[in-house]
Structure 1
Amino acid sequence: MKIVLPALGSVAAIALFAFSTTYQSAVAVERPAYDETFEQLELFADVLARVRSQYVVEVDDSELIEDAMNGMLQSLDPHSSYINPEAFREMRMNTKGEYGGLGMEVTMEDGFVKVISPIDDTPAKRAGIKAGDYITEIEGKSLIGATLSEAVGQMRGKPGEPINITVIREGEDPLYIDIVREVIKRQTVKHEMKDGIGYIRIAQFNEKAADGLKDSIAALQKESGGRLPGLVLDLRGNPGGLLTQSVEVSSVFLNGGEVVSTRGRRSDDVNVYNAEKGQMAKDVPLIVLVDGASASASEIVAGAVQDKGRGLILGMTTFGKGSVQDVIPLRGGRDGALKITTQRYYTPNGRSIQSSGIVPDLTISAIPDDGEEHKRFSEASLPNAIENEDTAEEMADEVDVVDLKIDYPPEGFEISDDYQLQQAIALLKSGTYAEKLAAARG
């Protein structure tokens, strides 16, 4: 089963997660034949033995070894990690769309937990947690020195139990936020008619996403009396999920053809995923909303729609999570699992969006221009992020948002009124959609 996410260990969700991952059964591993590697392993064993016998306090061998494995894997890239047995059980449960916790996707950066995205209709979202926030303390105790798994473990607890977290946000004093834990039941897909235009929000690409989208389109078509005059697909803040679901969602809008391909380091390590024929929303004018927290599976859908000329992409440049991880159970999961990056994924036109993201056809901000320079928080911001091999020489680690030509909300505009959505609906109702789409596709 393919997944697409920020994930536990290097990018984790509090109670769980989402960015590109493939489950694999155990396979034979070719062991190195050279002596130097075994000498290094002997050195590791010697160091471990000396720590056990001479360190100032007694240590836990299993914790030391788990931390060592994670140190090795996370030095490769932000998404490779060791998943302990308990976390692996939770991961398998959470792809089904229900789990306990606070409800946000997180990673570790500079010794602090950094929020990738809060999840819709969860305690974190309702408490005002934002993408880019740093969580520095839990119950007044610093997280400096804690691993991501340890921090996530501290934030977990029984539903109904309160927790206090300290949040650092750019340009503001520290925030001390009380949140009550609860069981997270994601309503994966929502829909409604907005000013005569169909609106569908997909919060995550779990097992319910494609079916929920199809049900929503059918309901909107019925409500509109037949054919929809236009549709807005909202993928903002969607951190990803199952790769298979991104292909099924794309099939709703594409009449066959390639949706995405994945390529590994060997020339023959290529997989192509095609849409099914007979799209459900044929000829319905489509606008896809994205932002900096739209990642992985969201970027697959946006990239396919863009490359196929099926609709307009509106919003801000996406996160740029363009790599695929294999999740390999160890001893059937009894010893946890290894999550390791094995491939990059590419849009139908062969674009790798790793670190660079999907650039919208219409770059429109959700918040007014404050006149300040802001750095884009993206995959490239994460420690040891894999470079985009197509643009490695041209890309900086971070992209200046001010370098983009952005349409900002007018002065005094209320953020809650959703400028991006308003602009999408206005475009679909204006009669200029076809002209804009033709211009965007050259």
Structure 2
Amino acid sequence: MKKNTRLQNFGLVLAGAVSASLLWHAFGVAGAASNADTYKQLNLFGDVFDRVRADYVEEPDEQQMIEAAINGMLASLDPHSSYMNKKQFADMSVQTRGEFGGLGIEVTMENGVIKVVSPIDDTPASRAGLMANDLIIKIDGTDVQGMTLNDAVDKMRGKIGTDITLTVVRDKKEPFEQKLTRDKIRVQSVKYSIENNDIGYIRISSFTEQTQEGLEKAMEHFRTTLGDKVKGYIIDLRNDPGGLLDMAISVSDTFLDKGEIVSTRGRHADETQRFNATKGDLANGKPIVVLINGGSASASEIVSGALQDHKRATLIGTRSFGKGSVQTIIPLGGEGALRLTTARYYTPAGRSIQAKGIDADIVIEEELPPELKGKNVSTEGEAGLKGHLTNEGGGDEGGGSSAYVPEDKTKDLQLKAAIDFLNGVKVVSNVKPKEEKPKEGAAPDTTAN
């Protein structure tokens, strides 16, 4: 790998330990340059903490108070900055290896409740029918309101084989209870098959340490099975919430011969990092279609943006999630870790997709089954998260893209469109473009007959 950098869920993880004392020293140096009001506010915090510790009606848990204060501070920044205690940090480290215990669900926090980003394929969550955009308001009867995201995730995890009941709100209807049984989540991040006898189909459900190995195994299978008969490849990134940055770079590099894959830009100009492709294309120049939708986020968007900008792939589906910020994971000397938003990432053409997402080249929306018609199966994307970073380029923010994918491949319009495209069939969008309102004072667009 070119950099020992990682993207966890929707963010970047930079490996390396930073001691708590060093962090406090850095804070002190920065604080020395700030105005005296900052010190007054820090003294205020200390006064409140001492008063609560001394006079609260019951003896408080001091560690819990400090963690709550830290989380409150980070929550005021953006939806992706947070504090992880030792156990949560250990759990996160396990998850990036692609094997962990739990329900198999990617979530975020919105308006005090847990919002489903997407269930992971072949897990208790997906088998139970949980969907993107579902809101989890209770866990085993306990209100989620007031919990941090890490607390809620920790509560959903547990001993394999034990049951858990989630109270879910879908499409603003009445809450319903969903019972699930915890299982060992083995994320097989890459699955593959041959479609139409001559097309290699690769489904990447998340970017873990196993992803590149799985991708190379898939490409080898197509090479030995199809040989020169292969017409092209479909990379399915729908409802893929992201994962490790080095895997996103590696997957992109697999199909690129040269050029930039992604860059990250922080608060200061000298923090910019660029990641470039190396020579070699495992697809040997064969055409590629990438499938995306409203659940495709972060690492998925890095791959989609890189292949789109280099005109190496055609994107089919609906607009992606729009998670374009970078989180640095800073270990705190054995006291957990800090997940802090430190930069934005950019596609090779310099596009920031933060709160906008990546638009498909050919927009194809799935047809909803009768039981879902009239219901909201779209995600609001990053732009719908409270406190999200705005796109520094300005303009309209994205959101509202469908995240529905039929289980039955014969009913999958996006997959069918990809197969038709690779077979040379002209594929057009099945969504009517929005009519633009004429500018004030402009004459209507007319054609003489």
TM-score when normalising by structure 1: 0.87
Report the CA distance shift for 1:35/1:24 in structure 2 as closer, same or farther (over 3 A).
farther
Q: Runs in 1 of length 4+ with deviation above 6 angstroms?
A: 371-375, 412-416
Percent identity, aligned pairs only? 44
Equivalent of 2:13, from 7, 11, 21?
A: 21
**What letter matches 1:115 in structure 2?**
V
Q: What is the match of residue 393 of structure 2? A: 390
Q: Residue 217 of structure 2 aligns with which residue? A: 215
2:435 alignment counterpart: none
Following TM superposition, by how much is the alpha carbon of 1:171 offset from its aligned partner in structure 2, in angstroms? 5.0
Shift in alpha-carbon separation, 1:181–1:387, aligned structure 2, 3 A = same
- Helix, strand or coil at the partner of 2:171: coil
Instruction: Confirm or deny that 1:424 pairs with 2:418.
Output: yes
Partner SS for 1:58: coil
CA–CA distance in 2 between the matches of 1:185 and 1:105? 14
Q: Which residue of 2 aligns with 1:311?
A: 313
Alignment equivalent of 1:242, drawn from 241, 244, 248: 244
Which whole-Å CA distance do the structure 2 matches of 1:389 and 1:117 have between them? 27
Matches within 5 A, 1:55-70: 55-70=56-71
Say if 2:12 and 2:329, in contact at 8 Å, map to a contact too.
no
- Following superposition, the deviation at residue 152 of structure 1 comes to 1.7
Deviation string 1:124-179 (CA, Å, 9 cap, x unpaired) is 01110111100111222322222222222221110000111111000543221110
**Counterpart residue identity of residue 381, structure 2:** S
Matched residue type, 2:233: L
Q: CA deviation at 1:363?
A: 1.1
Structure 2 residue matching 1:69: 3-state secondary structure: helix
1:206 equivalenced with 2:214 (yes/no) = no
Shift of 1:40: 1.4
1:55 Cα deviation from its structure 2 partner = 2.5
Q: Which moved more, 1:421-430 or 1:288-297?
A: 421-430
In the alignment, is the contact (CA less than 8 A) between 1:314 and 1:364 conserved in 2?
yes
RMSD: 2.5
Matches for 1:283-322 after TM superposition, within 5 Å: 283-322=285-324
Q: Deviations over 1:87-130 (max 9, x none)?
A: 11111121111000001111111111111111111110111011
Contact 2:8–2:96 at 8 Å: present in 1 too?
no
Q: CA deviation at 1:263?
A: 0.6
Q: Could you give the per-residue CA deviations for residues 267-306 of structure 1, whole angstroms, max 9, x where no partner exists?
A: 2221110111111112211100011111111000000110
Q: Which runs of 5+ in 1 are unaligned?
A: 7-17, 403-407, 437-442
Q: Deviations over 1:183-237 (max 9, x none)?
A: 1111111111011211001111111111211110110122113352111000111
Distance 1:245 1:239, change over 3 A: same
Q: Determine the C-alpha separation between the residues in 1 that align with 2:410 and 2:77.
A: 40
Contact 1:368 1:413 in 2 (8 A): no
1:5–1:296 Cα contact (<8 Å) kept: no
Which residue number in structure 1 is paired with residue 255 of structure 2?
Answer: 253
Contact 1:289–1:314 (Cα < 8 Å) also in 2: yes
Amino acid at match of 2:184: V
Cα distance in structure 2, aligned partners of 1:351 and 1:227: 36
Which position in structure 2 is the counterpart of 1:272? 274
Give the aligned residue type for 1:424: A
88-97 or 350-359: bigger deviation = 88-97
Q: 1:381 aligns with which of 377, 381, 384?
A: 384
How many Å separate the matches in 1 of 2:308 and 2:293? 15
Aligned residues: 412
Larger Rg belongs to:
2
SS in 1 for 2:282: coil
Match of 1:362 in 2: 362
CA distance in 1, matches of 2:171, 2:307: 34
| Helix, strand or coil at the partner of 2:12 | strand
Asked whether the 8 Å contact 1:316–1:363 carries over to 2, the reply is yes
Shift of 1:366: 2.2
Question: In 1, Cα distance between the equivalents of 2:374 and 2:61?
Answer: 51
- Is 1:158 aligned to residue 195 of structure 2? no
Tell me: CA distance 1:93–1:338, structure 2 relative to 1, closer, same or farther (3 Å).
Answer: same
- SS at structure 2 position matched to 1:325: strand
CA contact (8 A) 1:248 1:276 kept: no
Q: Aligned AA for 2:214?
A: G
Give me the whole-angstrom Cα distance separating, in 2, the residues matched to 1:101 and 1:71: 26
1:102-117 matches, within 5 Å, as 102-117=103-118
Partner in structure 2 of residue 440 of structure 1: none
Specify the alignment match of 1:323 in structure 2. 325
Shift of 1:38: 2.2
- The alpha-carbon deviation at position 4 of structure 1 amounts to 2.3
CA contact (8 A) 2:319 2:359 kept: yes
Secondary structure in structure 2 of the residue aligned to 1:430 = coil
Aligned to 2:100: 99
1:134 match: 135
- Contact 1:5/1:239 (CA < 8 Å) preserved in 2? no
Structure 2 equivalent of residue 179 of structure 1: 180
Which residue number corresponds to residue 32 of structure 1? 31
